[in-house]
Amino acid sequence: MIVEETAQKIRTMEIRGAGRIARAAAQALLEYSRNLHDRDLAGYCREIQRAADLLVSTRPTAVSLPNAINLVIKPLMNESVVEVAWKNLEERASGFIKRSEDAVSIIGALGARNIRDGDIILTHCNSEAALACILNAHQQGMNIEVYATEVRPRNQGHITIKTLSDAGIKTNFIVDSAARHFMKEVDLCITGADAITVNGSVINKIGTSQIALAAHESRVSFIVAAETYKFAPRTILGERILIEERTPDEILPPEMRSELRNVTVRNPTFDVTPADYVDLIITEAGVYPPEMAYTVIKEQLNWDNADLSTDYPYCEEE
Ligand code: RUB
Protein backbone atom coordinates (compact mmCIF):
# COMPACT_ATOMS: atom_id res chain seq x y z
CA MET A 1 0.00 0.00 0.00
CA ILE A 2 2.70 2.48 1.04
CA VAL A 3 4.64 1.66 -2.13
CA GLU A 4 1.60 2.09 -4.42
CA GLU A 5 0.70 5.33 -2.65
CA THR A 6 4.21 6.74 -2.98
CA ALA A 7 4.44 5.62 -6.60
CA GLN A 8 1.16 7.37 -7.37
CA LYS A 9 2.26 10.56 -5.62
CA ILE A 10 5.51 10.62 -7.59
CA ARG A 11 3.70 9.93 -10.86
CA THR A 12 1.17 12.72 -10.30
CA MET A 13 3.94 15.01 -9.00
CA GLU A 14 2.43 15.43 -5.57
CA ILE A 15 5.96 14.39 -4.60
CA ARG A 16 8.37 16.03 -7.03
CA GLY A 17 11.94 17.28 -7.34
CA ALA A 18 14.74 14.78 -7.79
CA GLY A 19 15.94 14.78 -4.18
CA ARG A 20 12.48 14.46 -2.66
CA ILE A 21 11.57 11.67 -5.10
CA ALA A 22 14.67 9.71 -4.09
CA ARG A 23 14.00 10.12 -0.36
CA ALA A 24 10.31 9.21 -0.76
CA ALA A 25 11.25 6.00 -2.62
CA ALA A 26 13.76 5.05 0.09
CA GLN A 27 11.17 5.78 2.78
CA ALA A 28 8.54 3.67 0.98
CA LEU A 29 10.96 0.73 0.74
CA LEU A 30 11.83 1.11 4.41
CA GLU A 31 8.19 1.08 5.52
CA TYR A 32 7.27 -1.72 3.15
CA SER A 33 10.16 -3.81 4.45
CA ARG A 34 8.83 -3.41 8.00
CA ASN A 35 5.57 -4.99 6.83
CA LEU A 36 7.40 -8.01 5.43
CA HIS A 37 9.13 -9.34 8.54
CA ASP A 38 7.01 -12.52 8.43
CA ARG A 39 8.34 -13.55 4.98
CA ASP A 40 11.07 -16.00 4.16
CA LEU A 41 14.13 -14.68 2.29
CA ALA A 42 12.86 -15.53 -1.20
CA GLY A 43 9.42 -14.04 -0.53
CA TYR A 44 10.94 -10.93 1.05
CA CYS A 45 13.34 -10.33 -1.86
CA ARG A 46 10.56 -10.91 -4.41
CA GLU A 47 8.30 -8.33 -2.75
CA ILE A 48 11.09 -5.75 -2.39
CA GLN A 49 12.07 -6.20 -6.03
CA ARG A 50 8.45 -5.75 -7.11
CA ALA A 51 8.21 -2.58 -5.01
CA ALA A 52 11.50 -1.27 -6.41
CA ASP A 53 10.36 -1.92 -9.99
CA LEU A 54 7.13 -0.04 -9.39
CA LEU A 55 8.86 2.94 -7.79
CA VAL A 56 11.54 3.20 -10.45
CA SER A 57 8.91 3.18 -13.22
CA THR A 58 7.16 6.32 -11.95
CA ARG A 59 9.34 9.03 -13.51
CA PRO A 60 12.08 8.25 -15.99
CA THR A 61 14.46 11.23 -15.92
CA ALA A 62 15.50 11.83 -12.30
CA VAL A 63 18.49 9.50 -11.88
CA SER A 64 18.27 10.08 -8.14
CA LEU A 65 15.39 7.61 -8.12
CA PRO A 66 17.14 4.49 -9.52
CA ASN A 67 20.37 5.52 -7.76
CA ALA A 68 18.59 5.60 -4.39
CA ILE A 69 16.71 2.37 -5.03
CA ASN A 70 19.85 0.58 -6.19
CA LEU A 71 21.69 1.71 -3.12
CA VAL A 72 18.95 0.40 -0.87
CA ILE A 73 18.19 -2.94 -2.54
CA LYS A 74 21.29 -4.05 -4.46
CA PRO A 75 23.17 -5.59 -1.50
CA LEU A 76 20.10 -7.81 -0.90
CA MET A 77 21.55 -10.18 -3.48
CA ASN A 78 24.32 -11.12 -1.05
CA GLU A 79 22.11 -11.80 1.96
CA SER A 80 21.38 -15.32 3.17
CA VAL A 81 19.46 -14.67 6.41
CA VAL A 82 16.13 -12.89 6.10
CA GLU A 83 16.38 -11.04 9.45
CA VAL A 84 19.76 -9.65 8.41
CA ALA A 85 18.39 -8.77 4.98
CA TRP A 86 15.57 -6.60 6.28
CA LYS A 87 17.66 -5.06 9.04
CA ASN A 88 20.37 -4.03 6.56
CA LEU A 89 17.89 -2.77 3.97
CA GLU A 90 16.11 -0.62 6.54
CA GLU A 91 19.44 0.80 7.77
CA ARG A 92 20.52 1.60 4.22
CA ALA A 93 17.21 3.31 3.47
CA SER A 94 17.27 5.49 6.58
CA GLY A 95 21.00 6.14 6.05
CA PHE A 96 20.31 7.33 2.51
CA ILE A 97 17.53 9.66 3.67
CA LYS A 98 19.76 11.21 6.34
CA ARG A 99 22.74 11.60 3.98
CA SER A 100 20.51 13.12 1.34
CA GLU A 101 19.16 15.72 3.78
CA ASP A 102 22.67 16.48 5.02
CA ALA A 103 23.88 16.80 1.44
CA VAL A 104 21.39 19.57 0.74
CA SER A 105 22.63 21.63 3.67
CA ILE A 106 26.30 21.07 2.78
CA ILE A 107 25.51 22.14 -0.79
CA GLY A 108 23.80 25.23 0.61
CA ALA A 109 26.93 26.21 2.53
CA LEU A 110 29.28 25.52 -0.42
CA GLY A 111 26.94 27.22 -2.88
CA ALA A 112 26.72 30.37 -0.76
CA ARG A 113 30.48 30.77 -1.16
CA ASN A 114 29.85 31.37 -4.84
CA ILE A 115 27.38 34.16 -4.08
CA ARG A 116 28.56 37.70 -3.34
CA ASP A 117 26.88 40.38 -1.31
CA GLY A 118 24.63 42.37 -3.64
CA ASP A 119 24.24 39.58 -6.23
CA ILE A 120 21.12 39.24 -8.33
CA ILE A 121 20.46 35.52 -8.85
CA LEU A 122 18.21 33.83 -11.37
CA THR A 123 16.78 30.41 -10.57
CA HIS A 124 14.50 28.14 -12.59
CA CYS A 125 12.00 25.53 -11.37
CA ASN A 126 11.95 24.48 -7.72
CA SER A 127 15.18 22.91 -6.57
CA GLU A 128 15.85 22.26 -2.89
CA ALA A 129 19.60 22.23 -3.58
CA ALA A 130 19.59 25.49 -5.55
CA LEU A 131 17.37 27.18 -2.95
CA ALA A 132 19.64 25.94 -0.16
CA CYS A 133 22.49 28.00 -1.68
CA ILE A 134 20.33 31.12 -1.95
CA LEU A 135 18.84 30.72 1.54
CA ASN A 136 22.25 30.11 3.07
CA ALA A 137 23.64 33.30 1.49
CA HIS A 138 20.66 35.24 2.80
CA GLN A 139 21.06 33.73 6.29
CA GLN A 140 24.67 34.90 6.29
CA GLY A 141 23.35 38.43 5.93
CA MET A 142 24.10 38.92 2.23
CA ASN A 143 21.89 41.39 0.49
CA ILE A 144 20.68 39.36 -2.49
CA GLU A 145 17.78 39.56 -4.92
CA VAL A 146 16.28 36.73 -6.96
CA TYR A 147 14.59 36.35 -10.32
CA ALA A 148 12.41 33.24 -10.24
CA THR A 149 10.69 31.85 -13.32
CA GLU A 150 7.09 30.69 -13.51
CA VAL A 151 7.94 27.21 -14.90
CA ARG A 152 5.22 26.35 -17.34
CA PRO A 153 3.21 24.17 -17.42
CA ARG A 154 3.23 22.99 -13.77
CA ASN A 155 4.12 26.31 -12.11
CA GLN A 156 6.80 25.00 -9.77
CA GLY A 157 7.95 28.65 -9.63
CA HIS A 158 5.02 29.30 -7.29
CA ILE A 159 6.64 27.04 -4.68
CA THR A 160 9.98 28.77 -5.18
CA ILE A 161 8.65 32.31 -4.72
CA LYS A 162 6.72 31.27 -1.59
CA THR A 163 9.93 29.89 -0.03
CA LEU A 164 11.93 32.98 -1.02
CA SER A 165 9.26 35.38 0.13
CA ASP A 166 8.80 33.57 3.47
CA ALA A 167 12.56 33.85 4.01
CA GLY A 168 12.39 37.59 3.40
CA ILE A 169 14.35 37.57 0.13
CA LYS A 170 13.51 40.24 -2.44
CA THR A 171 12.13 38.27 -5.39
CA ASN A 172 11.03 39.08 -8.94
CA PHE A 173 8.60 36.58 -10.48
CA ILE A 174 8.89 36.36 -14.27
CA VAL A 175 7.45 34.24 -17.08
CA ASP A 176 9.90 31.71 -18.47
CA SER A 177 10.31 33.55 -21.75
CA ALA A 178 11.45 36.73 -19.92
CA ALA A 179 14.67 35.10 -18.68
CA ARG A 180 16.87 36.43 -21.51
CA HIS A 181 15.27 39.88 -21.28
CA PHE A 182 16.35 40.17 -17.64
CA MET A 183 19.72 38.43 -17.98
CA LYS A 184 21.52 41.80 -18.22
CA GLU A 185 20.46 42.45 -14.61
CA VAL A 186 21.57 39.04 -13.34
CA ASP A 187 24.97 38.21 -11.77
CA LEU A 188 24.53 34.47 -11.33
CA CYS A 189 22.14 31.66 -12.34
CA ILE A 190 21.65 28.69 -10.00
CA THR A 191 19.53 25.65 -10.83
CA GLY A 192 19.24 22.08 -9.62
CA ALA A 193 19.59 18.89 -11.67
CA ASP A 194 17.62 15.72 -12.28
CA ALA A 195 20.59 13.99 -13.86
CA ILE A 196 24.19 14.73 -14.77
CA THR A 197 25.88 12.66 -17.44
CA VAL A 198 29.48 11.48 -17.63
CA ASN A 199 30.30 14.28 -20.07
CA GLY A 200 28.98 16.92 -17.66
CA SER A 201 25.65 17.64 -19.38
CA VAL A 202 22.98 18.70 -16.93
CA ILE A 203 19.41 17.53 -17.28
CA ASN A 204 16.95 19.78 -15.50
CA LYS A 205 13.51 21.34 -15.94
CA ILE A 206 12.59 22.28 -19.50
CA GLY A 207 13.85 25.79 -20.20
CA THR A 208 17.07 25.39 -18.22
CA SER A 209 19.18 25.09 -21.38
CA GLN A 210 17.75 28.31 -22.82
CA ILE A 211 18.61 30.11 -19.60
CA ALA A 212 22.13 28.65 -19.62
CA LEU A 213 22.54 29.79 -23.23
CA ALA A 214 21.37 33.31 -22.38
CA ALA A 215 23.70 33.37 -19.37
CA HIS A 216 26.62 32.25 -21.54
CA GLU A 217 25.84 34.98 -24.08
CA SER A 218 25.81 37.61 -21.30
CA ARG A 219 28.89 36.16 -19.53
CA VAL A 220 26.80 35.42 -16.46
CA SER A 221 27.91 32.43 -14.36
CA PHE A 222 25.67 29.38 -14.50
CA ILE A 223 26.05 26.99 -11.58
CA VAL A 224 24.25 23.78 -10.76
CA ALA A 225 23.53 22.56 -7.25
CA ALA A 226 23.19 18.78 -7.17
CA GLU A 227 23.79 15.92 -4.76
CA THR A 228 26.24 13.30 -6.03
CA TYR A 229 23.39 10.79 -6.48
CA LYS A 230 22.11 12.94 -9.37
CA PHE A 231 25.09 11.78 -11.46
CA ALA A 232 24.17 8.98 -13.89
CA PRO A 233 26.60 6.03 -13.76
CA ARG A 234 25.22 4.23 -16.79
CA THR A 235 26.09 7.17 -19.04
CA ILE A 236 29.63 5.79 -18.73
CA LEU A 237 28.35 3.01 -20.98
CA GLY A 238 27.11 5.57 -23.51
CA GLU A 239 23.49 5.42 -22.44
CA ARG A 240 21.47 8.56 -22.67
CA ILE A 241 19.03 10.10 -20.26
CA LEU A 242 15.40 9.52 -21.16
CA ILE A 243 13.54 12.82 -21.22
CA GLU A 244 10.08 12.44 -19.74
CA GLU A 245 7.27 13.70 -21.95
CA ARG A 246 4.07 14.28 -20.00
CA THR A 247 0.47 14.47 -21.10
CA PRO A 248 -0.55 17.30 -23.48
CA ASP A 249 -3.44 17.99 -21.06
CA GLU A 250 -0.94 19.90 -18.91
CA ILE A 251 -0.60 22.45 -21.72
CA LEU A 252 -3.85 22.47 -23.68
CA PRO A 253 -7.16 20.97 -22.49
CA PRO A 254 -8.54 18.08 -24.58
CA GLU A 255 -11.64 20.10 -25.63
CA MET A 256 -9.39 22.75 -27.24
CA ARG A 257 -7.15 20.14 -28.83
CA SER A 258 -10.09 18.38 -30.43
CA GLU A 259 -10.74 21.52 -32.50
CA LEU A 260 -7.12 21.69 -33.65
CA ARG A 261 -6.87 18.61 -35.78
CA ASN A 262 -3.49 19.52 -37.25
CA VAL A 263 -1.81 20.40 -33.99
CA THR A 264 0.32 18.06 -31.91
CA VAL A 265 1.09 19.27 -28.42
CA ARG A 266 4.56 18.29 -27.17
CA ASN A 267 5.32 18.45 -23.48
CA PRO A 268 8.91 17.47 -22.63
CA THR A 269 9.53 17.97 -18.92
CA PHE A 270 13.31 18.33 -18.95
CA ASP A 271 16.08 19.44 -21.28
CA VAL A 272 19.81 18.94 -21.64
CA THR A 273 22.30 21.72 -20.95
CA PRO A 274 25.69 20.84 -22.43
CA ALA A 275 28.74 21.10 -20.15
CA ASP A 276 30.00 24.09 -22.21
CA TYR A 277 27.30 26.23 -20.61
CA VAL A 278 27.84 25.08 -17.03
CA ASP A 279 30.52 26.78 -14.93
CA LEU A 280 30.42 24.68 -11.78
CA ILE A 281 28.52 21.84 -10.14
CA ILE A 282 28.14 22.19 -6.38
CA THR A 283 27.86 18.81 -4.68
CA GLU A 284 28.09 17.72 -1.05
CA ALA A 285 31.51 16.28 -1.88
CA GLY A 286 32.87 19.57 -3.20
CA VAL A 287 32.62 21.90 -6.15
CA TYR A 288 33.44 20.41 -9.53
CA PRO A 289 33.69 21.69 -13.08
CA PRO A 290 31.31 19.66 -15.30
CA GLU A 291 34.32 18.04 -16.99
CA MET A 292 34.94 16.12 -13.75
CA ALA A 293 31.62 14.24 -13.84
CA TYR A 294 33.44 10.96 -14.55
CA THR A 295 35.51 11.40 -11.39
CA VAL A 296 32.39 12.07 -9.32
CA ILE A 297 30.72 8.92 -10.64
CA LYS A 298 33.79 6.76 -10.05
CA GLU A 299 35.00 8.19 -6.76
CA GLN A 300 31.97 9.61 -5.00
CA LEU A 301 29.31 7.13 -6.06
CA ASN A 302 31.78 4.25 -5.83
CA TRP A 303 30.16 2.58 -8.80
CA ASP A 304 32.05 -0.18 -10.45
CA ASN A 305 31.30 -2.07 -13.63
CA ALA A 306 29.21 -4.66 -11.79
CA ASP A 307 26.87 -1.90 -10.61
CA LEU A 308 26.45 -0.81 -14.20
CA SER A 309 24.90 -4.14 -15.08
CA THR A 310 21.75 -3.58 -13.01
CA ASP A 311 18.45 -3.61 -14.80
CA TYR A 312 17.30 -0.10 -14.09
CA PRO A 313 17.09 1.75 -17.36
CA TYR A 314 18.59 5.16 -16.79
CA CYS A 315 18.58 6.47 -20.20
CA GLU A 316 17.84 7.64 -23.77
CA GLU A 317 17.85 11.05 -25.47
CA GLU A 318 19.75 13.70 -27.43
C1 RUB B 1 12.11 19.42 -10.74
C2 RUB B 1 13.38 19.99 -11.24
C3 RUB B 1 14.41 20.34 -10.19
C4 RUB B 1 15.34 19.14 -9.97
C5 RUB B 1 16.26 19.35 -8.79
O6 RUB B 1 11.27 18.96 -11.78
O7 RUB B 1 13.64 20.11 -12.41
O8 RUB B 1 15.18 21.42 -10.62
O9 RUB B 1 14.56 17.98 -9.72
O10 RUB B 1 15.48 19.51 -7.62
P11 RUB B 1 9.83 18.33 -11.41
P12 RUB B 1 16.06 19.17 -6.16
O13 RUB B 1 9.07 19.40 -10.70
O14 RUB B 1 9.25 17.97 -12.74
O15 RUB B 1 10.08 17.12 -10.53
O16 RUB B 1 17.28 20.04 -5.99
O17 RUB B 1 14.94 19.55 -5.25
O18 RUB B 1 16.36 17.72 -6.13
Q: Are residues 88 and 187 in the same domain?
A: no
Q: Tally the domains of the chain.
A: 2
Q: Measured between alpha carbons, how far is 210 from 177 in angstroms, rounded to an integer?
A: 9
Q: Are residues 165 and 77 in the same domain?
A: no
Best substitution site from 59, 156, 278 to test ligand 1's pocket, by max atoms within 8 Å of Cβ?
156
Q: Are residues 114 and 100 in the same domain?
A: no
Q: Are residues 263 and 170 in the same domain?
A: yes
Do the domain assignments include residue 42?
A: yes
SS (HEC) of the chain: CHHHHHHHHHHCCCCCCHHHHHHHHHHHHHHHHHCCCCCCHHHHHHHHHHHHHHHHCCCCCCCHHHHHHHHHHHHHHHCCCHHHHHHHHHHHHHHHHHHHHHHHHHHHHHHHCCCCCCCEEEECCCCHHHHHHHHHHHHCCCCCEEEEECCCCCCCHHHHHHHHHHHCCEEEEECHHHHHHHHHHCCEEEECCCEECCCCCEEEECCHHHHHHHHHHCCCEEEEECCHHHECHHHHHCCCECCCECCHHHCCCHHHHCCCCCCCCCCECEEEECHHHCCEEEECCEEECHHHHHHHHHHHCCCCCCHHHCCCCCECCC
When pLDDT is averaged across residues 203-209 and rounded to a whole number, the result is: 98
Do the domain assignments include residue 317?
A: no
Q: Are residues 240 and 209 in the same domain?
A: yes
Judge whether residue 309 has pLDDT over 90.
no
Cβ(223)–Cβ(130) under 8 Å?
Answer: no
First-to-final CA distance of the chain = 36
- Ligand 1 atom with minimal separation from the 131 CA: 16
Q: Are residues 169 and 280 in the same domain?
A: yes
Q: Are residues 152 and 241 in the same domain?
A: yes
- Ligand 1 atom with minimal separation from the 19 CA: 18
Active site residues: 125, 194
Do the domain assignments include residue 235?
A: yes
The residue whose CA has the least distance to atom 10 of ligand 1 is: 127
When pLDDT is averaged across residues 303-315 and rounded to a whole number, the result is: 48
Query: How far does residue 299's CA lie from ligand 1's centre (Å)?
Result: 24
Question: Which residues does ligand 1 sit against, CB inside 6 Å?
Answer: 16-20, 62, 125, 127-129, 156, 191-194, 204-205, 269
Quick one: pLDDT at residue 307?
Answer: 54
Query: How far does residue 64's CA lie from ligand 1's centre (Å)?
Result: 10
Query: How far does residue 306's CA lie from ligand 1's centre (Å)?
Result: 29
Handedness of CA 27, 159, 143, 228 (dihedral sign): positive
pLDDT in tens, 33-52: 999 999 999 999 999 999 99
The residue whose CA has the least distance to atom 11 of ligand 1 is: 17
Sheet of strand 170-174, all strands in order from the earlier edge strand to the far edge: 170-174, 145-149, 120-123, 188-191, 221-225, 280-283, 286-288
pLDDT in tens, 160-192: 999 999 999 999 999 999 999 999 999 999 999
Query: How far does residue 17's CA lie from ligand 1's centre (Å)?
Result: 3
Q: Are residues 99 and 154 in the same domain?
A: no
What CATH number is given to the structural domain containing 26? Answer: 1.20.120.420
Do the domain assignments include residue 13?
A: yes
Do the domain assignments include residue 313?
A: no
Best substitution site from 205, 222, 231, 272 to test ligand 1's pocket, by max atoms within 8 Å of Cβ?
205
Cβ neighbour number for residue 181 with a 10 Å cutoff? 11
Q: pLDDT band at 312, cuts 50/70/90?
A: very low
Q: Domain range for residue 177?
A: 106-300
Best substitution site from 100, 106, 127 to test ligand 1's pocket, by max atoms within 8 Å of Cβ?
127
What CATH number is given to the structural domain containing 182? Answer: 3.40.50.10470
The residue whose CA has the least distance to atom 12 of ligand 1 is: 127
Q: Measured between alpha carbons, how far is 5 from 101 in angstroms, rounded to an integer?
A: 22
Do the domain assignments include residue 318?
A: no
Cβ(65)–Cβ(92) under 8 Å?
Answer: no
Query: How far does residue 259's CA lie from ligand 1's centre (Å)?
Result: 34
When pLDDT is averaged across residues 47-73 and rounded to a whole number, the result is: 96
Q: Are residues 91 and 181 in the same domain?
A: no
Q: Are residues 179 and 95 in the same domain?
A: no
Judge whether residue 313 has pLDDT over 60.
no
The residue whose CA has the least distance to atom 7 of ligand 1 is: 205
Quick one: pLDDT at residue 315?
Answer: 29
The residue whose CA has the least distance to atom 1 of ligand 1 is: 17
Cβ(149)–Cβ(181) under 8 Å?
Answer: no
Do the domain assignments include residue 316?
A: no
Q: Are residues 156 and 194 in the same domain?
A: yes
Query: How far does residue 258's CA lie from ligand 1's centre (Å)?
Result: 32
Q: Are residues 251 and 141 in the same domain?
A: yes
Do the domain assignments include residue 315?
A: no
